[in-house]
Amino acid sequence: MKRILLAWSSGKDSAWALHVLRQGGDYEVVGLLTTFNAAFDRVAMHAVRRQLVEAQAAAVGVPLWPVYIPWPCSNEVYERQMTAACERAVKEGVEAIAFGDLFLEDVRAYRERNLAPTGLTPLFPLWKIPTDKLVREMIAAGQRAVITCVDPAKLGCEFAGREIDLALVDALPEGVDPCAENGEFHSFAFAGPQFLRPLDICVGEIVDRDGFVFADVTLA
């Protein structure tokens, strides 16, 4: 099997990508590549605490590969940090990096362009699966996740902190992608077929910051 990394946001799509990759049997996921905002010690955009992602990585049985970036962070600095992570990966016999991207062509092209000089192959195990079908498949399989960040320009603030279940999916306004591929919301996965054990979590304070609404998730 090819040794690969998985770009790990801590959310439902990257978690489901892990499940799909394991089901296929062609790849061994040897690390979860996660970008952390060094100033706040949280996953960028998802705003999930590092300690929670460490618990998540232990619960799915894959080592965490943290990449720390400053805040604010220029694209140049971000790419330099990611290049260093790719160089480490190649030295350790990693052949590819998988992403949980669904349908945004510009995002895929960006990843392919940046990985081209590294020798690592980009993989997209969820690519072009219809998102309404995909989110319902996740839920039916027992994957559980909560919304940690909402873009209030695209979705109501009341969705922050809610679990992604069928009732939530059916309540999404028209025009909101069921998997939030357009940035409507971000999430944290805490249970599912890819977990050795579920995480016991609780949703705490919900705050407005920098134009987004965040729900703080902690271990119970």
Distance separating alpha carbons of residues 121 and 95, to the nearest angstrom:
6
Backbone angles phi, psi at 172, to 5 degrees: -65, 135
Distance separating alpha carbons of residues 48 and 216, to the nearest angstrom:
7
What pLDDT shows up at residue 146?
Answer: 98
Domains of the chain: 2-123 (3.40.50.620), 142-219 (no CATH)
What pLDDT shows up at residue 78?
Answer: 86
How many helices (H) and strands (E) would you count in the chain?
A: 6, 10
Q: pLDDT tens across 115-160, in order? A: 999 999 999 999 999 999 999 999 999 999 999 999 999 999 999 9
Q: pLDDT tens across 81-113, in order? A: 999 999 999 999 999 999 999 999 999 999 999
What pLDDT shows up at residue 215?
Answer: 96
Question: Residue 48: pLDDT band by 50, 70, 90 thresholds?
Answer: very high
Q: pLDDT tens across 49-83, in order? A: 999 999 999 999 999 999 998 887 888 888 899 99
What pLDDT shows up at residue 19?
Answer: 98
Inter-residue contact 13 to 185 (CB < 8 Å): no
What percent of the chain clears pLDDT 70, i.e. is strictly above it? 100
The pTM of the full predicted model, rounded to 2 decimals, is: 0.96
Q: pLDDT tens across 21-46, in order? A: 999 999 999 999 999 998 889 998 77
Backbone angles phi, psi at 3, to 5 degrees: -80, 125
Distance separating alpha carbons of residues 118 and 96, to the nearest angstrom:
10
